[in-house]
Structure 1
Amino acid sequence: MVTGSGTIQGEPTVRPAPRSEPDTSAGPKGGGHRRPPIRPSGGGTRAWVRPYIVGLVGLDLIAALTATLAGTAARFHDALAATTTAPYLALSLVLPLVWVVFVRLGGGYERRFLGVGTEEYRRVAVAGTLLAATVAIGAYAVKFDLARGYVLVTLPLLVLLSLGLRYARRKALHQSRRVGACMSGVVVVGYRNAAGELITRFRDEIYHGMRVVGVCLPAHETDLSEVEGCPVLGTFADAADAAALVDADTVAVLACPEMDGVALRRLAWELEKSGTDLTVASALMEVAGPRTSIRPVAGLPLLHVEHPELVGARRLIKGVFDRCASSLALLLLSPLFIVLFVLIRAEGDGPALFRQTRVGRDGGEFTVYKFRTMVVGAETLKSVLQPRNEHDGVLFKMRRDPRVTPVGAWLRRYSLDELPQLVNVVRGEMSLVGPRPPLPEEVARYGHDVRRRLVVKPGLTGLWQVSGRSDLSWEESVRLDLRYVENWSLTLDIQILWKTWSAVIRGAGAY
């Protein structure tokens, strides 16, 4: 075993005996100050998991049965009663069961991925690929001349239907979580400030299904008041007992020196008895996905962090995708552009298009295009209205900005004023997805970390657009933009573009 000093030793000679109840009279190991008694809060919520998984199995069976019958009908519609069709009808009954087995082997029913979205869909897609390969190899092995038309219809349709039904089920799960159902109870182990940030994050993004039911603070903590409304259940040494008593599903350990390798190992031993999950958050809170991997070195599990791919082939592919998609969008939306142009011009004097200097990648300036939503000369009135700014940070935002015209308010609500920026995307000055394009005076007030937003092209939409828009604080907007910069990929771009539609239709946070 690896000790805190990094030397290799055998089993520790002293291991704390498990306690039936946490020590509420004092901190662990005689900390000398009283802890509030741990009180059950009904944190355990795994009762919803089994019915949810059973429902997913049923949806996958329906998707597979529908796809196999559709493939049979499409390929043999004029000979359904023929004897040569019998094997395919039999396969239509067997394949749904085989599909469920493949999804199960691929991890498509694992509890930790339920409702997560991308990872769940990826596992289903991989299961579909493996099923297609197995069918092809099996048909070749038994020398069965499998009709290509049947395969080309059945297998892709099977995967698409499964993904579609799971997407609908996931949306229903999110609706349930908005009213507090189908949640997982979490006990947070860490410093007060870090625990408070995590609690706030979980509350803001409730669709993840994580609800903090208690906090364990370090032994030297003297402030025992609640953390963001969550009770303090004890010290780090009380984490396993606290999780058991409040029936939590997960213990989340935040980065702190006290929870070293030995402490985490012992906590894992205790949680193993009750089947409680253990998660450990690294200090790199915004770095995720393929950039991180565990590499064993000298018996130590080291977290390896790849550099973000800001140059090279991936950026080239992103640029080609941006320009092709934007050109197509400009062509399809040209009638809408004409209508909006007429509406803006009919409202009064002034141009329909608004031009403004913005800052792009690596600090380069460019002219951004938008449909005009304010009265002529609105920029000169900004200094007068500055004391009424409702946004923190460097941005200027007002819910009832007197400079916005009636047509402009409608355009802003549905983000139609941003559509001319498709021209900027075609010209290579912007991307479809990225951080918001800032003003030069905003960039002049950026700190060192915030300037990290400028290493990629600004976007027509982004994580800020699908996460609250103008309702977000400056700090939250920066956090989301930096998260995008650190983890961007074409897959993430497509996800954000998909979510943008619902954010625009709702019109929330747009003013």
Structure 2
Amino acid sequence: MARWQELLVAWALLILTLPFRLLTAGLLLAHLGRPLMFRQARVGQGGRAILVPKFRTMSEARGADGQLLPDAQRQTPVSGIVRRLRLDELPQLDRIIAGDMALVGPRPLLESTLRGFGALGVIRNSVRPGLTGWAQVSGNTRLNDDEKLALDLWYVAHRSPGLDLRILCDTLGVALRGEHRHEERLRRAQAWLRDQQTAVPPEMEMAGAMS
């Protein structure tokens, strides 16, 4: 997707989703209080550090040992719905307009997670991180890190305006119907990645992806 097209869509979404952002902010303020948002340090395109904003959907409730309770116990029914519908991600539209993120691309990861992928992680981050991505509409939380990596790398190699549009449409479907694993997409991505690793050394593959 061309940058001007992305900006046009991002601005349109920013305007169209403003009522949902205000509603989400009001509901979370009533159920969880302040702060409404938090920012996570993540790795952007080319290894550049970025801050990714999200609505806060968990309390700071701790157990008798002083440790944070499990995620499920720190959510309210309302914040759980906010997460399921991905309304907590809406503040990231601002980062798309700023140029730190894209509408579609691999989700921004922690530096420690990305480092564990080695050269493949560099290839993965040769494009801007996205608000949503191929892995997110192919299973997301039902996938492990290696499965997500294969899907992300397949996207980087095959990205196109048509694929981006498909992912955006699928994202709406996931928000409405919930997540499920797309086994065929995963098998295709894993088979493609095996072929690439067999045929091309990681250093050459990385150079090709970043060109």
Matches of 2:115 and 2:139, distance apart in 1: 25
Q: What percent identity do the matched residue pairs reach?
A: 39
Q: 1:366 aligns with which of 39, 45, 50?
A: 50
C-alpha distance after superposition, 1:93-115 (max 9, x if no partner): xxxxxxxxxxxxxxxxxxxxxxx
Alpha-carbon distance change, 457 to 351 in structure 1, aligned in 2, over 3 angstroms? same
Rg comparison, structure with higher value: 1
Matches of 2:2 and 2:151, distance apart in 1: 20
Equivalent residues of 1:323, 1:428 under 8 A apart: no
Matches of 1:449 and 1:435, distance apart in 2: 13
C-alpha distance after superposition, 1:208-260 (max 9, x if no partner): xxxxxxxxxxxxxxxxxxxxxxxxxxxxxxxxxxxxxxxxxxxxxxxxxxxxx
Matches of 1:406 and 1:439, distance apart in 2: 27
The aligned counterpart of 1:220 is: none
Q: 1:135-284 counterparts in 2 under 5 A?
A: none
What amino acid is aligned across from residue 439 of structure 1 in structure 2?
L
Q: 1:406-417 counterparts in 2 under 5 A?
A: 406-417=77-88
Equivalent residues of 1:353, 1:369 under 8 A apart: yes
Q: 1:508 aligns with which of 173, 179, 183?
A: 179
What amino acid is aligned across from residue 26 of structure 2 in structure 1?
V
Q: 1:348 aligns with which of 26, 32, 49?
A: 32
Shift of 1:434: 0.3
> SS in structure 1 opposite 2:58?
coil
Shift of 1:436: 0.8
1:446 aligns with 2:130: no
Runs of 5+ in structure 1 lacking a partner? 1-316, 386-397
TM-score using structure 1 length: 0.33
Matches of 2:51 and 2:22, distance apart in 1: 21
The aligned counterpart of 1:334 is: 18
Matches of 1:375 and 1:424, distance apart in 2: 25
Matches of 2:97 and 2:82, distance apart in 1: 22
Shift of 1:330: 0.7
C-alpha distance after superposition, 1:122-159 (max 9, x if no partner): xxxxxxxxxxxxxxxxxxxxxxxxxxxxxxxxxxxxxx
Q: 2:151 aligns with which of 471, 480, 493?
A: 480
Runs of 5+ in structure 2 lacking a partner? 181-211
Alpha-carbon distance change, 449 to 402 in structure 1, aligned in 2, over 3 angstroms? same
The aligned counterpart of 2:168 is: 497
Q: Which has the higher helix share?
A: 2
Equivalent residues of 2:134, 2:167 under 8 A apart: yes
Shift of 1:346: 0.6
Matches of 2:73 and 2:81, distance apart in 1: 14
Matches of 1:422 and 1:443, distance apart in 2: 23
Q: 1:457-476 counterparts in 2 under 5 A?
A: 457-476=128-147
TM-score using structure 2 length: 0.76
1:433 aligns with 2:104: yes
Equivalent residues of 1:370, 1:421 under 8 A apart: yes
Shift of 1:377: 8.0
> SS in structure 2 opposite 1:373?
coil
Equivalent residues of 2:44, 2:125 under 8 A apart: yes
What amino acid is aligned across from residue 22 of structure 2 in structure 1?
I
Shift of 1:443: 2.2
Shift of 1:359: 0.9
Shift of 1:414: 1.3
> SS in structure 1 opposite 2:119?
coil
Equivalent residues of 1:350, 1:376 under 8 A apart: no
Q: Which runs of at least 4 in structure 1 moved beyond 3 Å after TM superposition?
A: none
The aligned counterpart of 1:199 is: none
Shift of 1:459: 0.6
The aligned counterpart of 2:191 is: none
Matches of 2:61 and 2:47, distance apart in 1: 26
Equivalent residues of 2:61, 2:68 under 8 A apart: no
The aligned counterpart of 1:256 is: none
> SS in structure 1 opposite 2:155?
helix
Matches of 2:30 and 2:68, distance apart in 1: 28
Q: Which has the higher contact order (CA 8 A, sep 6+)?
A: 2
Shift of 1:407: 2.3
Matches of 1:448 and 1:401, distance apart in 2: 34
Matches of 2:147 and 2:117, distance apart in 1: 15
User: How many residues are treated as equivalent by the alignment?
Assistant: 177
Matches of 2:32 and 2:134, distance apart in 1: 35
